[in-house]
Structure 1
């Protein structure tokens, strides 16, 4: 995720960062410039069409469709941002529940039980790192801190394996009489929340926007922009070249941004800082326990 100062206007305007859509769309800018120049040359120089040509009436269609495409793109970006923000809330809940679980265990466990304290100090943050990589379809054992019985199978659901070990250890403490039944019930919401958060993140990652909807928006933008020079060239002449490029930049950028943030758990510039969040969980849980 990009860290930035939201008040630095001029920095935003004149700097091209990794997530800037200009880099991705630049080849299309060149192609559209050549296409618009060719249309302008054919209509103005070669065919010498009159400004009152029937082709000019196509601008009326663009006026009507402009409102429709704006509604579609607003809905598209809002839907994508909702997914991004829900993902951020889920990881915020993971931070809070990890701290709460550590605080409760710190208060419940006897000071002499250093083995269990060390187990939870290691395994609670390991769950965050396991979930982070699980959502990226990765397995990076070097990010885990090792604890007793830390035997994970790469081909199985890693977060579930870690959560199962944490819950099993808590129940073992109950059977040993080191925590009471009331304390076990008190720990239960945080223990169950890990799997709930994982399932909600998987729902976001595994349920993209419907294919037909995504294809329709892309086709709509393409044909809308490609037909712009046909009518507006009589009014703008060769200025149609930068105008078409700018309109395409605005419309296509909204779609690209929506595509990037609708799956917020990857490595894109605007994805959630799950690496930083996982590191902070390890730091804070370590301080508590």
Structure 2
């Protein structure tokens, strides 16, 4: 009986503790945990000191990202010049190198299948990460030769390179219908692509007669509201409201230009016009999807 009571009390305490932790206002878990930027390493051979059959190779991880274990490839030439040709190639392990630190590895020429050979008086080429398995900030500076080495890297090459911003969908404004009723003109404007179009202006060039270029005309402008992708808007020119010298559109020739100041970046830039007897050619069906 006593043991049963103890078990009951312990169970109650455990349940109370669990409930307290579940509802404890002092224990806060962030809804959006901070993701720290992932820096990349950059491996570079800093120096080579030859000592008979061995060479001390200082490998420097010059950037902030940690470099995993890799390999060092050694190409030993038959003579003192590069023209003598490669005699033997072998590789050794390179341990992981923390960001902005160095390590020294020592290739031994006798590791070439037991053949006695030496670095002294021989041309050589060394390559760190020869199989290109490590993603680095600079990829072309992993080599070192007896008489040459890569150029120094720029001071900013270790900075995080931000990915290019995602391509922003562009709008495309096109006049799709014009209706005239006495002193009013109703202009339907369609945004036929996937980007939203900001507010802009619509220009009406109204000629004095039925022919294009007829003298005595005038120009009027109206505001065009912002138009979402795939949506339409209708803009009205009322000659009376504009105090125009004309009381009706009659048979007068006209030209309309949407985004008349060319301030809206569009997918297609040359289809924004409409004339009484002409209009742009239809746009290809897939034009809005082209990159």
TM-score category, normalised to shorter length: under 0.3
Higher strand share: 2
Higher helix share: 1
TM-score (norm 1): 0.22
Which structure would you say has the larger Rg?
Answer: 2
TM-score (norm 2): 0.22
Which structure exhibits the higher relative contact order, with contacts defined as CA atoms closer than 8 Å and separated by 6 or more residues?
Answer: 1
